[in-house]
Amino acid sequence: MLKKYVFLFFLFSCSSLKLPQTQVTYIHGAHFNSKSWNELRDELGIKNSVAVNLPGRGNLEDYSFIDLNLMSLSLCDQLSLYEAEHVLIAHSQAGAVVNNMLSLCPSLKIKKIIYVSAVIPFPGEKPFDLLSKADERNYFQSVKLNKKKKLLEVNDHEKFLEFFAPEALEEKDLREEVLKSLTSEPANISQDLVQYSLSVLNSIKKYYVFTTQDKIVSLESQKKTASRFRFEKTFQIESGHLPMITHTDRLEDIIEEILKN
């Protein structure tokens, strides 16, 4: 009889334990907002997931107060809403935002980071220090600096598509998906220094998704930045810079594989 009660008590105790949940957060890159993840997020159908908006997605007269720390603190605040272990999916510029965030909210439990064609600067580097001259030239084919607003504005949608998502040039649905989530971008972040502890980042499981046809963060630049870190696994997509829109199925498969491990 005693064994029976001990067994029942054990079952009750286990059922009362609060096992850590996993919260998946999608973080957009420069010139985009949370809508860029809509289709992928719908396809994955993860219950505990959210796509965030970082500062600078609105229509302001002055963007000079928006910098890397403000973006990172905003991400801290949004992640802290969930008592969970976090899996972060960071596209492009968001790699710098996520890394910088590690020093600003160390109490957050970051389980995994999935970098998608992302920059991953070292402490003390600017977000785009490792990009090539060709990457920079391609970027400024369709983007112009508004010095008064401190804002990088897209001034040629066709050129933007050509370099960010050439797959969308001839496909109406893809074109609409890209353009509906397109925004201007605060300029200050490109000049800010990223600060965080390398040992903290190295303690987190990391994954990298290479985009082999990328003309904004070229494959050469991706490999240069990725070579400095240890990843649990790397993946490859034959796409331009926006695989979450243009190659949703392939990226979905990759993320599902990562989340299972």
Q: What are phi and psi of 71, to 5 degrees?
A: -65, -45
Handedness of CA 214, 79, 255, 40 (dihedral sign): negative
Name the phi and psi angles at 210, rounded to 5.
-80, 140
pLDDT in tens, 207-259: 999 999 999 999 999 999 999 999 999 999 999 999 999 999 999 999 999 99
C-alpha pair distances (Å), 18 with each of 9, 107, 111, 150 = 16, 18, 17, 46
Place of tokens 């059922």: 15
Q: For residue 4, name the pLDDT band (cuts at 50, 70, 90).
A: very low
Question: Tens digits of per-residue pLDDT, 115-150?
Answer: 999 999 999 999 999 999 999 999 999 999 999 999
118 phi and psi angles, rounded to 5 deg: -105, 155
Asked whether residue 89 carries a pLDDT value surpassing 60, the answer given is yes
CATH entry 3.30.300.30 includes domain 22-260: no
Domain ranges of the chain: 22-260
